[in-house]
Amino acid sequence: MPYFEPVILFFLLGAIAGFVRSDLKIPGVLYESLSIFLLLAIGLKGGVELARYRLLDVALPALVVVSVGALIPLAAFPVLRRIGKLSRADAGSIAAHYGSVSVVTFAVASAYLARLGQAPEGYMTVFLVLLEFPALVIGTLLARHGERGAPKGHAAAPSWPFGRVLHEVFAGKSIVLLLGGLAIGWLAGPEGIAPLDRVFFDLFKGLLAFFLLEMGLVAASRIGDLRRAGVFLFAFATLMPLAAGGLGLITGQLLGLSVGGITLLATLYASASYIAAPAAMRIAVPTANPALSIGAALGITFPFNLIVGIPLYHRLAQYLHAGG
């Protein structure tokens, strides 16, 4: 398997352990520590690479990437409503999850590209941070549209706690650590971060493997939720990343990104959040069923992208880049 990223095998091991109901468990403190390390390391790496570019060179691609990414929840919502027959709250919540991004999927794709020697542009971490927020706002607006016009006799819906949602997103550990690491790496530059390379960069893949072991266990535990949801959500959780990934491939090619950059942008668009989005949706759309959104994002889309999606996006990126 020359193109198979080894850390994915740890995810598969965790999933198998979950399916056979093994007593294997990752201590909660270790899981939390690993997530903090990975988020900070990704931010630092992005900041170091960002220091090599002028900010104006990054601004326009970032604007394009965020604008195109906003189309994903807008496209997902009518599919979930009209074909899936889901409630407005559930459709908006799931659309927000799929418009947002998965940091762990980003990390696996980055490791995959590093193994192939096709590193992406250093500012891709900026895209990772920026893509978290717009989809959460759009999904919330779609979910709550028309609530004030509820028929008489129905309880009035609570007002949208916009400030709390903003706080949940921007003060959440994902954004704090990614932005903090990005700023530290950018300010310190390659030479300043060099003494920390062994801790944050050399150990990255090993600790990512431990984290994916836990993700496999968690993903296996979510399959039951999806079984109760029906065939539609299985299909959506598989086809939606392919459509969004295709959008990322086209956008990356138009922006003139490298093969690694196109692959990573496709992976970002194809991924679905299961960390920041659930926390924000819990506050903004409390009537939505989290089992549907988290089950689809973590139980189906996450393993699909790890096993099938990332290698597929890379092959297609190579094809597009060669054709250009």
List the domain boundaries for the chain.
30-143+162-323
Q: Across residues 232-259, what is the average pLDDT?
A: 95
Residues 171-191: tens digit of each pLDDT = 777 778 888 988 999 999 888
Which pLDDT value is given to residue 247?
97
Q: What percent of the chain has pLDDT over 90?
A: 42
Higher pLDDT, 223 or 105: 105
- What b/e string do you get for 283-293 counting C-beta neighbours within 10 Å, with b at 16 or more? bbbeebbbbbb
pLDDT for the residue numbered 166: 67
pTM, 2 dp: 0.84
**Model confidence pLDDT, tens digit, residues 269-321:** 999 988 778 878 888 888 888 888 988 998 899 999 999 999 999 999 999 98
Q: What pLDDT is recorded for position 155?
A: 43
pLDDT average, residue stretch 28-44: 88
Using one digit for the tens of pLDDT, what is the confidence trace for 97-121? 999 999 899 999 999 998 899 989 8
- pLDDT at residue 165, as a whole number: 65
Confidence of residue 159 (pLDDT cuts 50, 70, 90): low
Q: Indicate the CATH number for domain 30-143+162-323.
A: 1.20.1530.20
Q: Rounded mean pLDDT of 44-70?
A: 89
Contacts of 215 (CB under 8 A, 6+ apart): 11, 14, 104, 298, 302
For residue 203, the one-letter residue type is L
Residue 38 pLDDT > 50: yes
Is 206 within 8 Å of 111 (Cβ atoms)? no
Calculate the average pLDDT of the chain.
86
The packing angle between helices 132-144 and 88-99, to 10°, is 170
Which one has a higher pLDDT value, 162 or 13? 13
Q: What is the residue-wise DSSP string for 287-299?
A: TS-HHHHHIIIII
